[in-house]
Amino acid sequence: MPVADPYRWLEDPDLDGAGIAPWLEQQNELTFSIIRAGDTRDRLITRLTEVWDYPKYSVIKKVGGRYFFWLNSGLQNQPVLYVQNSLGLDEPGRGARENEPRPVLDPNVMSEDGTAAITAQSWTDDGWLLGYALSRSGSDWQELRVLDLENLKELDDVIRHCKFTSPAWAIDRSGFFYSRFPEPGSVPPEEESYHQKVYWHALNTQQETDMLVYARPDAPELGFSPHVTDDGRYLVLHVWKGTDPKNRIYFAPLDPGSAARPSQNDVVRLLDDQDARYDFIDNAGPDGATFYFNTDLDAPRGRVISIDTTQPDRTHWREVIPQGEDPIDFVSVVHDHIVVVTLHHAHHVVNLYTLAGAFVRELPLPGIGSITGISGKRADDELFLSFTSFLNPTVVLRYHFPSDMLETVLSPKLSFAPARYETTQVFYESKDGTRIPMFLTHKKRLRNDGQNPTLLYGYGGFNISLTPNFSPQRIAWIEAGGVYAVANLRGGGEYGESWHQAGTLLNKQNVFDDFHAAAEWLVKHNYTRPDRLAIQGGSNGGLLVGTCLLQRPDLYGAVVCQVPVADMLRYHRFTVGRFWVSDYGNAGEDPDHLRYQLTYSPVHNCRPDVSYPATLITTADHDDRVAPTHAFKFAAALQAAQAGDAPILLRVDVKAGHGAGKPTTKLIEEQADLYAFIFKALGVPYRVAD
């Protein structure tokens, strides 16, 4: 089936080449000449800098009797890792100098422009060695390094060619397991994200001497995430294939008292059917041979099961916590309790159970929000949680099991008053009658007169749930009188795996219908009107808003389309696009997929003689997750098709990637550009409303 592809030349990966560089330069010049004209962007930078300047904490992790957490003091480009000997909560001398936090790892000194970021970390059991993954310029590629936390000294160990992995330490801290891809140049470029293998690295040795532990040359598309159980007895491999939530679990026995390491023949394929999602939780029993899993096998909303690995036949599996009304988001074991975090209409609830599965209690959270981190081990008395909402930045909570006390231990001071605003949740019907939840955040006593500038955000894919989260730029939006709306579309995980599947493959149009219906609800209920309604999405959400603006150009006044997947016929040919086939399908192999993807692929659905709303498409030169070519081809196609006067703009960031690890300076500049564009496109002056 022939399909025109006039912008194939924009797939050139050499962005500095003579063919594409002048075009990109012209695009950025046009974009910045429009969105940076006047003083709106400068005033936004000033206000964003003010609201961004507050302490940002990660969840506390207790390791080896000490407490670690990441902290960005306000405007640092990257957070810094701190340690303190005690929280001073259960003993005299609270706040004594010896309990003060001390910095131990600062990525801000690793690059002049703040683009070096820590993307994963793992401690030895005694807390004295830290293995961490370092990424540069927003790339998914990582270097694994080791820091001696006792002497604050970097070891010589450096592991390269890694992606989507972190060190899995042996209990004797003699080394760690990790996974890596082939060395660049050793395989064809299109296979650089295939052939991942598991290796053992002995501490204080060179990577070239690392021992191969496991590989699947017969299945080069499989990836491996290694984990060592807390008792040190087992290496557990989470085996994945792209972004398909269905996975496999392999394991190998370890002898904590021996220097011998497992080899290919020692690995047991415990769960190899790839028939469901299996998230390893913990192991138990006298020999640690009983494994606990959170799975959606025969339970689309999730349940907890245990498997005796000495009797792995399914007839011996035991259900510990059955499927409930709300889907399970994630599970941990702390203080011999199973901690279950569920989603209730897209916000989190935390319940405690015994190891036998008996309900103990629900932990009272500060409000409707999200658990963004959880830490603790089976032998610990303390459970740490990080909690956030649309109007409150992350706070760190500590639940002390012996005293049954939940308290806040880390909380930022803010430069704005959250009490002036409110978040509500509404439900609306999509085109086929499906009930969809949506969060609305705005100033209290909002006038429903249809005049409010409104920003609608969505994602709808890959089983990812949009739960309440805090973002400084949204404060600048709502304090200027804006409404911020988040629609929980099908394709996400808000109601379990069936909700996810309802927005994938040949059901993808459901996601777009859900989003259109959210916009129509906002207009019908007089929150806004189409010419004051902006939509925003990134990555898969970029596909969402790109498709929606093409399907309903009459419904939207402005579009921010960030790092989008836009060429649905060729996406699997670029970077790690092959990982997404389980959600999107493969037009190159399945004619039904080809015909369906052609109905919504943004690059292929820009119609001439149509007046499209003002659109800003963004990407970055180091995005090796969603290739920049998607944004380039979509921008070129939409610009050529535009029949109206609204601008179609392309913004290309430099020394940046898909988003993770982006330094604060770049974040503020980017958000100022985005919001300046939105205010101008909607014809609304930027000012802080009374």
Name the residues annotated as catalytic: 539, 623, 658
Q: Which residues contact 358 (CB under 8 A, 6 or more apart)?
A: none
Q: Which of 285, 277, 293, 281 is nearest to 310 (CA)?
A: 285
Let me know if 66 is exposed, middle or buried by CB neighbors in 10 A (0-12, 13-18, 19+).
middle
Let me know if 652 is exposed, middle or buried by CB neighbors in 10 A (0-12, 13-18, 19+).
buried
Question: Phi-psi region for residue 659, left (φ > 0), alpha (ψ -120 to 50) or beta?
Answer: left
Q: Which residues contact 341 (CB under 8 A, 6 or more apart)?
A: 328, 329, 330, 331, 348, 349, 350, 371, 374
Q: Which of 465, 603, 483 is nearest to 535 (CA)?
A: 483
The CA–CA distances, whole Å, from 262 to 94, 251, 254 equal 46, 10, 7
The CA–CA distances, whole Å, from 635 to 84, 179, 249, 386, 571 equal 50, 37, 42, 39, 16
Three-state secondary-structure class, residue 358:
coil
Nearest-angstrom CA–CA distance, 29 and 36: 10
Query: Helices in 591-628 by DSSP H: which ranges?
Result: 591-598
Nearest-angstrom CA–CA distance, 154 and 134: 13
Helix axes 540-551, 509-524, angle to 10 degrees: 60
Q: Which residues contact 132 (CB under 8 A, 6 or more apart)?
A: 105, 118, 120, 121, 122, 144, 145, 146, 147, 166, 167
The CA–CA distances, whole Å, from 522 to 430, 456, 487, 632 equal 13, 9, 11, 31
Question: Helix, strand, coil: what percent of the chain each, to 5?
Answer: 20, 30, 45
Nearest-angstrom CA–CA distance, 62 and 150: 16
Nearest-angstrom CA–CA distance, 650 and 637: 12
Pairing of strands 483-487, 435-443: antiparallel
Pairing of strands 558-562, 614-620: parallel
Consecutive H or E run containing 370: strand 370-375
Three-state secondary structure string covering 495-531: CCHHHHHCCCHHHCHHHHHHHHHHHHHHHHCCCCCHH
Three-state secondary structure string covering 81-100: EEEECCCCCCCCCCCCHHHC
Helix axes 40-52, 664-682, angle to 10 degrees: 130
Length of the chain: 690
